[in-house]
Structure 1
Amino acid sequence: MDISAAIAKLKTEPGFTENVGMILVHNGVVRGWSRANRENVVAVDITSDEERMNALCEEIQKRPGIFRVLAECRSGLLKPGDDVLFLIVAGDIRENVKPALADLLDRIKAEAVTKREIMG
């Protein structure tokens, strides 16, 4: 996902200026160490469930104050520094947008993405 292009396109949607006062973005990248034990990671094999991710986006988008939710996850063998997960949540005020992004991120990581770290 080209985040700048996605935001630019989002800004052209009818209702954007009337409903959006905040856009939050998450750009997850492959870490060079494991969260479990800080061991060096040389690659990560990512599998994403696009259908589940789309369902989660739709669910979060129904929340009060949320205008649009976008998500994209790269799958396959990725190395440290590679982009993995892009999330965009656009909505009215931070009290609605911040928790929506946090919930979306946590749920996608728990329900729609699996990873296998390759140590080296």
Structure 2
Amino acid sequence: MDISKKIAELKQDPEFAANVGMVLIHNGVVRGWSRGTRDEVTGIEIKADHDKIEAIRKEHEQMEGIYKIVTHANEGVLKPGDDVLFLIVAGDIRENVKACLASLLDRVKAEAFSKKEIFA
């Protein structure tokens, strides 16, 4: 996903300026080490439940002050540095947008992703 292009598309919406004062972005990438042990990893196998991600996205888009949410998840065997997950949250004020992104990220990672690290 091209984040700049996607934000430019969102801004083309005639209602964008009337409803958005902040856009926050999450760009998750594959680490070169395991979170638990810090052992080196050469890759990670990701499986994403796209239906669950969409359900979580729709739920969060109903939160106070949230105008639009865009999600994009990559799957398969990815190597360190590869993009895994993009989340874009556009909304009215900082407090609403920050809270939404934090909750969205935590829910998507906990409920819609599985991963298997590949060690060196």
Q: Shorter chain as normaliser: what TM range?
A: over 0.9
SS of 1:14's equivalent in the other structure is coil
TM-score for both structures, normalised by structure 1: 0.98
Q: 1:49-68: CA deviations, max 9, x gaps?
A: 11000011000000110000
Following superposition, which runs of at least 4 residues in structure 1 exceed 4 angstroms of deviation? none
1:34 alignment counterpart: 34
The one-letter code of the counterpart of 1:14 is P
User: What is the identity percentage for the equivalent residue pairs of Structure 1 and Structure 2?
Assistant: 57
* Unaligned stretches of 5+ residues in structure 2: none
Distance 1:2 1:58 in 2: 22
User: 1:41-80 to 2 correspondence within 5 Å?
Assistant: 41-80=41-80
2:2 alignment counterpart: 2
What is the aligned length?
Answer: 120
* Unaligned stretches of 5+ residues in structure 1: none
Distance 1:14 1:52 in 2: 29
Superposed displacement of residue 13, structure 1: 1.2
SS of 1:107's equivalent in the other structure is helix
2:18 alignment counterpart: 18
Distance 1:21 1:95 in 2: 11
SS of 2:59's equivalent in the other structure is helix
TM-score for both structures, normalised by structure 2: 0.98
